[in-house]
Amino acid sequence: MLNWQKFSSRSFDWPLIIAVCLLVAVGLAVIYSVDLSRGSELIYFKKQIIAFLIGLVLMAAASSVQFTFFKTYAKWIYLLSAVLLLLVLVFGANIRGTRGWFDFGGFSFQPVEFAKVGIILMLAYISAGFGRRFHSLLFFIGSGVVTLILICLIMLQPDLGSAVLIGSVWLGFMLLLGTKKRYLLILAGVLVAVSVAAWFLFLQDYQKDRILSFVNPSRDPLYSGYNVIQSIIAVGSGHLTGRGLGFGSQSQLRFLPETQTDFIFSVIGEELGLAGVSLMLVLFAFICWRLIRIVRQTNNDFIAMSVSGIVILFFVQFIVNVGANIGLLPVTGVTLPFVSYGGSSLIMNLLLIGIAESMCRKKY
């Protein structure tokens, strides 16, 4: 049974909510600009508005529930996420070579986004249950197996970017909790071996091209290195104030692909310039700071680890996306939190903010 918290306006972290809404507004403005170059129907913009409204409802619902609900049902949320990842392999729609979406007549849902919620809550549940015995080999292996199950299901789609994110959340937990260094060294050796095997056995040609293009984009400037080169040009051409929404040559003339998702940061750099990029960075840093503030103020291990996991997820997503846009990291299809087009991503990110708000309200 749901245990609703008593409503009190002062119990919400309003600065966090306002910052999230402002960051979403930046994304909506840029998506609107991208849509202008594709016609007058504004398909992406309209769908993102709908996703935002759904996300707000879920955020409000999650923040109104006692945090104990998420602790009690963490295992079931994780299990549901694993089942959805399994089902999408059978019944999912194949989009650009990845079978990772459930299609509902014009609208789609990507279960890997829900899996990010599931893994955060599950790892927080396991961490809280170990009574701070984080040096234990059982904790290291047990939490790793729980994470590996989702990673394997995600790689079967295949979706390398999301698999990296799920793995990064687990690794962030291990580093944060101070697991033994020798475990991490052994893991590093295993990852090297797995990476070599994956290169020859699992990675698709386009994924290999992305990695090689990251190392040297100019090796194939008209094909595998094209996206990165155009992205860097777009970011650099914005200067201080940008060319204005709807006036970016790289994005509006479609030199840059996937401008609404993977390369939306480049569009911001080109059309809003350093000023727009700085605003986005400030808002994102403020959101992370407010979440970290919740962690510092609580004495509950489950709350501390849940919100820490949310921070880790947002931070890694941000670094991977921006790094890919400016040529510092390979392009893996990871979106920019709250900014990139993607209904599933936006809805689940807002749900995570609602979960954090629920845990913030514990003291009221």
Model confidence pLDDT, tens digit, residues 243-290: 888 777 777 666 677 777 788 898 899 889 999 999 999 999 999 999
pLDDT of res. 332: 79
Flag residues of the chain having pLDDT under 70: 1-11, 39-40, 206-207, 209-226, 252-255, 362-364
- Residue 3 belongs to some domain of the structure: no
**CB-CB neighbours of 148 under 10 Å:** 14
CA distances to 100, 162, 201 from 207, rounded to whole Å, are 16, 13, 12
Radius of gyration of the chain (CA): 20
Within a domain: 279: yes
* SS3 of residue 101 by DSSP: strand
In a domain, 106, yes or no: yes
Would 83 be classed as within a structural domain? Answer: yes
pLDDT at 333: 80
Is 242 a member of any domain? yes
3-class secondary structure, 6: coil
Give a yes or no: residue 199 inside a domain.
yes
* Overall domain count for the chain: 1
User: CA 230 to CA 358: how far, in whole Å?
Assistant: 42
pLDDT, position 364: 42
Question: In the prediction, which pLDDT does 145 show?
Answer: 95
Q: Decide if 7 is inside a domain.
A: no
Q: What is the spatial distance between Cα 190 and Cα 275, in angstroms, rounded to a whole number? A: 43
Token pair belonging to 213: 């293009």
Question: Which segments within the chain are labelled E, that is strand?
Answer: 93-95, 98-104, 107-109
In a domain, 173, yes or no: yes
Print the domain residue range for 327: 12-363
Q: Which residue in 231, 217, 303 sits closest to 266, CA to CA?
A: 231
* pLDDT in the model for residue 9: 58
